[in-house]
Structure 1
Amino acid sequence: MPNPGVSELRPEYPIRTDRLSLRPLTGGDADALLAYRGQPDVCRYLPFEPADRRLISERLAAQWARTTLTDEGQAVTLGIDLARTGELVGDVVLFWHSRDHRSGEIGYILNPDFAGHGYATEAAHAMLRLGFDELGLHRITARLDERNEASAKVARRLGMRQEARLVHNELFKGEWSTELGFAMLSDEWPAHRDRRAVR
C-alpha cells in the first residue's frame, strides 16, 4: 500500500525485479563503472563528463555510499546487476528534492553493451516504486537532453508524461541544449505499478 506521506526510505537490498537485482555500489564495482561511465559517447548528453578511476573511487566513498534517504536533498544510487550472472550493467538514482512538495527525480545510465533489452526501463520502474510506494512521493520527474533519444524512450515506456520542452535553456558542454521534462504523479502510478518492462 502506498505511503500517504513522506518519511524516509530504508530499502531492503537487493531489490529484485524479473531480471535484475538493484543494490548499493561498492569498491569492487570500480572497473564495471569505468567501463561505461568513462566513455565519452555514453556521457555525451548526461550532466557530467566521462569519469576516470579517481573520480569513481571518490564517488563510491562519498555520495554513492548512501543507502537510505532520510531527508530532502539526498539521493540514492543503485547498481543494476543481471540476476542470472551478477554482472553490473548500469546504475539508477532516486533524488529526493522536497519534503514539503513530496517531489523527487529519477535518472538512469546503462552500459551500451547491454542496451536494447529493456534493462534501463525495468530498473527505473523499480525506482519509481521506491519513490511512490516506499517514500510516499507525490511527483517524480525525469529531465534529459532532447538528443538523448534512448533516455526519452525509457521515460515514455515507464508511462511518464512529457510536460515540457525547454528550447536552448542551458549552455551544456559548449552548446545550447534543449531539455525535455517528464513526470508522473502518485495517482497516475497505480496504472503502471504492475506493468512489466517493455523493450
Structure 2
Amino acid sequence: MVNLPWRPAYPILTDRLALRPHRSGDLDDLLRYHSDPEVVRYIPWPARTREQTEAALDSRTRQGEVTAEGQWLVLAIQLRDDLGLAEGGRVIGEVLLKFDSEADARGELGYAIARDAEGNGYATEAARAVLELAFARFGLHRVVARLDARNRASAALLERLGMRREALFVEDEHFKGEWTDTLVYAMLDREHSSAHIPEAG
C-alpha cells in the first residue's frame, strides 16, 4: 500500500546535503546546469534558455509533494553547510522520484547535477536518501531508473546504490536526433531492506 501524500519534512538532511523543494530564487543556479549541453546530454530536456529554465523552475516549485499517480517529487540539492546562508545557498542539482504506478507500488528515480559539482558523490548521496524515503516512508515495492546506455557515469551511480541492471532495450528511442539504447535498473523494497541490515558482530 502506497502511503500518500508524499510530503516529507524539509529539508531532508544527509551527511553533506540538504534536499528541499525548489524556490523562485533558484533560477540562476538551475540555469547553470539546465543550459549546459554536457549536463543534459543524456537527459530528456534540451539545453535550456533562461526563459525555458524559468518555466521549468515554475513547475518545480509546485513539486515538493505528491498526491496522485503520475506526479513527480522534484527536490533541489544544496550543500548542507550552506543552510545558514542568508541567500539560502546554491542549488547544485536535483533529485526526482515519480509515483509511477499505484497498483504496482512503483516509482522511478532520476537526478541531475551541475558539472562543477560532479565527482563528489553528491548525486549518489541524494539518490540514496530518496530511495530511503521511497521504501521506508512512501511504501513503494519497486523503484526503477531508466538511462541512455551510453551514460556510464549514471550506470555506475545506480550500481553503487545497489540497484540491479535488468534490461537493455536496443534503439528503442529516437533521442535528440538519433536512435539510442536504454538501460533499466531496479530495486525492490526487500533488497533495499536487506542492504541496510548491519553485519553481525
Q: Partner letter of residue 18 of structure 1? A: D
Shift, 1:54, TM fit: 1.4
Map of 1:157 onto structure 2: 160
Gaps of 5+ in 1: none
Shift, 1:11, TM fit: 0.4
Give the aligned length.
191
Map of 1:13 onto structure 2: 10
Shift, 1:136, TM fit: 0.3
Please give the per-residue CA displacement for 1:107-131, whole angstroms capped at 9, x wherever unaligned.
0100110111110000001111111
Map of 1:24 onto structure 2: 21
1:1-199 to 2 correspondence within 5 Å?
Answer: 5-8=1-4, 9-85=6-82, 86-193=89-196
Distance 1:178 1:10, change over 3 A: same
The alignment's C-alpha RMSD in Å is 1.4
In 2, the alpha carbon distance for the partners of 1:185 and 1:64 equals 29
Q: Give me the identity figure in percent.
A: 46
In 2, the alpha carbon distance for the partners of 1:61 and 1:26 equals 8
In 2, the alpha carbon distance for the partners of 1:45 and 1:146 equals 9
In 2, the alpha carbon distance for the partners of 1:194 and 1:51 equals 43
Work out whether residues 105 and 142 of structure 1, in 8 Å CA contact, stay in contact via their aligned partners in 2.
Answer: yes
The structure whose RCO (Cα within 8 Å, separation 6+) is larger is 1
Gaps of 5+ in 2: 83-88
Distance 1:118 1:182, change over 3 A: same
